[in-house]
């Protein structure tokens, strides 16, 4: 395909990169969206009847013939589109020609699907040895679970995310609308980028086998595999306190990660005695006394408005924010002032690319081009292929270097807690020399959050271990002239400097962008504040739970009457976006020789993956709502109690089930014995099943309660019904698929 940027002004860090996307659905589309937003030429290849996502609307808004839903427009803006029937010789020939001229290909055919279409790794390598292939599948292309039926809802249950979220008396609850598919998308984009970078040096493309299951293990659990080695036994079902609390005029989101924040919170709400009680520093103890703790909190929150609570808690630097949703987000002053929302050519507002690179277009979001109509560019692309001819297939002249994407890169790591450290650990895992800076007086706070209490407490936090692999560590004082002088020496030899303080901290240390750029004009400074470097919320403190509260992730998670946080997903999500954005800045450095400031506010990647409720409201005026474990994608969908019992005789086992197709519904009916409640003709369609969800749930529960969860899941999976045990997160290992 021709380089469409050669005759115009530089259009993005990845201008000239050629990506061909054979995937369908959300995950691959989000991965290729990140490339398109960065200036790559992305060609979306669809079957003759189109990507099913064209006909999807979470709100149920009608989609006219020949038109596409708003989520499709959001995910596929700025791409070109062709139609190729990969069941035909002609379609396969077109696919091979596209691969022959591509730097990167993305597919989601599943195990054996690529081979059936002439697009297995060996086929891609034969067509173009320099092309990197990203294969997206639920469990990976190999292993005993590779062919297992699933949806994102059952994947959440399988990784242990669902079982420990919620109130024990109401049962476990999954996270909201297809969050994990977006999360896996950024891992797919990052995997593709990390395959392409060394391919440019070596001339040999790489095969990236992306398991959505493994991406969710990293993002929707809080290193529970490590936690189980530090804290044996099952992890109890729980909610956070304080978290999303009722105010006089709505919901307010609060987070107290540190003991000092909890103590200060109790003082603000007029109960310093509770803050001084050592027992309640432990969130597990607060959960054991939930009625008392909620009484203390709600006596304050229900007597104040959301704005009043935010003003009071912010004065004490306690993380607090309003609860966002598809309607309120569009009106939030901070997001409007920062220009977070841009106009999609299809006529609605959407989140912009979730980072700012100041040296590219002045940090402005790239101009969006319309998503392609089905087959819109088929002839255009065919003409380009004909002009280039087979003789000019994409070739790469090796530049020398090894197979790891970040070999030789030097990263100065000033980050703490989770989002920053997990991002810098990726650089270390993939070849960079990462030096983490702490001080004895003020070490990384994650070393102590929920740690085992003993004389080696510094080294006994599982999240710290999980997020800080492949690094070296030094201690020095940033609040002393000698310490700052040492940091400046490290800046002078670094390629990347990364930090995730609140915005004013770096400048207070005398290490702002102007200073770092003067010390090392080639250095890339990566900043990861919660809400950005400017705007009305600039100085607000925020953790992952705050981002989930304000971004809309929590709005769609929880019980109908009670929104809940996802628990931590925004930290690895922000970290992976930061790695991707940093790689873009390094491409700019390669092109211009100049370093730049990279800004990745944690709230913006969260908005990017949960944009569906924003675009649905902007386009159709429909606010998506929580429905406990139900959702618009599958029906029936739920978490059902099984016959497992705990020591008190209470049900201690659940199975997650999500019926996404009519064929799966017929299989479910067969498994449960074709009962009379399942025979109504209206239940043959998803709409009919959704209307009768209460009755169906009652029938499924009658079946699951006669079986232990492992047996129920096995029988359903054997019939091809998406199902999973609700795995306790401390019991994720041993796991035959991960092994």
Catalytic residues: 571
Asked whether 553 and 563 are in contact (CB, 8 A), the reply is: no
Tokens 């019992």, located at residue = 645
DSSP calls for 502-528 = -HHHHHHTT--HHHHHHH-TTPEEEE-
- The answer to whether residues 526 and 400 touch, using CB atoms and an 8 Å cutoff, is no
Strands 349-351 and 341-343, by their bridges, are: antiparallel
DSSP state of 8: S
3: exposed, middle or buried (Cβ count in 10 Å: 0-12, 13-18, 19+): exposed
**Residue among 79, 54, 73 at smallest CA distance from 65:** 54
Give the burial string for 228-249 (b: 16+ CB within 10 Å, else e): bebeeeebebbbbbbbbbebee
| 385-420 b/e (C-beta count within 10 Å ≥ 16 → b) | beebeeeebbebeeeeeeebbbeebbbbbbbbbbbb
CA dist 629 and 301 (Å) reads 27
Write phi, then psi, for 585 (nearest 5 degrees).
-65, -35
Sheet holding 637-641, edge to edge: 637-641, 654-658, 723-725
Alpha-carbon span 413 to 424, nearest angstrom: 7
Give the side-chain half-sphere CA count within 13 A for 323. Answer: 21
Say how far apart CA 133 and CA 195 lie, in whole Å. Answer: 8
The angle formed by the CA atoms of residues 569, 573 and 579, to the nearest 5 degrees, is 155
What tokens were used for 351?
């989140």
> d(Cα 293, Cα 297) in Å, to the nearest integer?
6
Beta carbons of 234 and 730 less than 8 angstroms apart: yes
**What sections of 430-502 are H helices per DSSP?**
462-467, 481-493
* 527: phi then psi, degrees, rounded to nearest 5: -120, 135
List residues bridging with 637 in a β-sheet. Answer: 658
Maximum Cα interatomic distance, the chain, rounded to a whole number of Å: 79
SS3 assignment, position 644: coil
What DSSP element (H or E) covers 73? helix 70-76
For the four alpha carbons of 464, 469, 474 and 477, in that order, the dihedral sign comes to negative
Residue 222 contacts residue 235 (beta carbons within 8 Å):
no
């Amino acid at each position: 395909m021709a380089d469409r940027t050669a005759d115009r002004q530089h259009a993005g860090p990845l201008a000239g990169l050629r990506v061909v996307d054979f995937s369908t659905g959300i995950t691959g589309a989000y991965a290729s969206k990140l490339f398109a937003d960065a200036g790559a030429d992305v060609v979306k290849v669809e079957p003759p009847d189109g990507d099913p996502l064209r006909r999807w609307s979470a709100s149920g808004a009608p989609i006219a013939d020949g038109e596409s839903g708003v989520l499709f427009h959001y995910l596929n803006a700025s791409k070109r589109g062709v139609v190729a029937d990969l069941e035909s010789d002609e379609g396969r020939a077109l696919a091979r020609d596209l691969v022959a001229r591509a730097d990167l290909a993305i597919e989601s055919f599943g195990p054996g699907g690529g081979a059936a279409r002439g697009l297995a790794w060996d086929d891609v390598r034969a067509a173009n040895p320099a092309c990197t292939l990203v294969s997206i599948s639920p469990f990976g292309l190999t292993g005993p679970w590779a062919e297992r039926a699933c949806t994102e809802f059952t994947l959440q249950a399988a990784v242990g995310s669902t079982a420990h979220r919620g109130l024990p008396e109401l049962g476990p609850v999954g996270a909201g609308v297809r969050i994990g598919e977006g999360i896996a998308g950024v891992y797919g984009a990052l995997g593709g980028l990390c395959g392409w970078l060394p391919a440019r040096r070596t001339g040999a493309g790489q095969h990236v086998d992306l398991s959505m299951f493994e991406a969710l293990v990293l993002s929707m659990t809080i290193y529970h595999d490590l936690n189980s080695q530090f804290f044996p036994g099952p992890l109890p079902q729980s909610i956070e306190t304080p978290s999303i609390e009722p105010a006089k005029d709505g919901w307010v989101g609060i987070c107290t990660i540190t003991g000092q924040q909890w103590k200060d919170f109790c003082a603000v709400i007029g109960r310093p005695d509770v803050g001084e009680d050592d027992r309640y520093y432990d969130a597990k103890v607060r959960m054991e006394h939930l009625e008392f703790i909620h009484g203390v909190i709600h006596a304050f929150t229900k007597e104040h408005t959301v704005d009043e609570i935010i003003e009071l808690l912010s004065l004490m630097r306690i993380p607090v924010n309003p609860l966002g949703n598809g309607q309120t987000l569009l009106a939030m002053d901070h997001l409007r002032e920062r220009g977070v929302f841009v106009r999609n050519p299809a006529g609605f507002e959407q989140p912009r690319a979730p980072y700012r690179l100041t040296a590219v277009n002045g940090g402005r979001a790239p101009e969006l081009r319309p998503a392609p109509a089905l087959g819109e560019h088929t002839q255009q692309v065919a003409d380009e292929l004909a002009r280039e001819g087979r003789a000019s297939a994409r070739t790469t002249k090796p530049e020398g270097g090894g197979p790891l994407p970040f070999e030789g890169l030097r990263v100065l790591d000033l980050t703490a807690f989770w989002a920053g450290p997990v991002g810098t650990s990726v650089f270390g895992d993939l070849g960079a020399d990462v030096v983490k800076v702490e001080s004895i007086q003020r070490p990384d706070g994650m070393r102590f959050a929920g740690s085992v209490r003993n004389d080696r407490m510094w080294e006994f936090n599982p999240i710290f271990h999980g997020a800080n692999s492949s690094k070296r560590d030094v201690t020095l004082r940033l609040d002393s002239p000698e310490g700052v002088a040492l940091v400046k020496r490290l800046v002078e030899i670094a390629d990347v400097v990364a930090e995730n303080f609140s915005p004013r901290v770096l400048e207070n240390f005398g290490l702002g962008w102007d200073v770092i750029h003067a010390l090392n004009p080639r250095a890339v400074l990566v900043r990861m504040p919660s809400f950005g470097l400017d705007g009305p919320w600039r100085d607000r403190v925020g953790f992952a739970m705050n981002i989930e509260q304000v971004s809309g992730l929590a709005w769609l998670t929880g019980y109908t009457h009670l929104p809940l946080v996802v628990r931590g997903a925004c930290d690895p999500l922000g970290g992976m976006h930061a790695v991707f954005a940093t790689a873009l800045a390094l491409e700019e450095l390669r092109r211009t020789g100049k370093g730049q400031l990279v800004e990745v506010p944690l709230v913006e990647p969260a908005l990017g993956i949960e944009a569906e409720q924003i675009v649905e409201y902007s386009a159709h005026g429909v606010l998506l709502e929580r429905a406990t474990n139900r959702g618009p994608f599958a029906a029936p969908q739920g978490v059902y109690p099984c016959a497992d019992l705990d020591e008190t005789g209470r049900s201690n086992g659940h199975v997650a089930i999500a019926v996404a197709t009519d064929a799966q519904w017929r299989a479910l009916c067969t498994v449960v014995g074709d009962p009379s409640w399942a025979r109504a003709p209206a239940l043959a369609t998803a709409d009919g099943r959704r209307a009768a969800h209460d009755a169906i749930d009652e029938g499924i529960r009658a079946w699951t309660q006669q079986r232990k969860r492992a047996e129920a899941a096995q029988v359903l999976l054997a019939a091809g019904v998406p199902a999973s045990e609700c795995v306790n997160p401390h019991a994720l290992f041993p796991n035959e698929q991960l092994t």
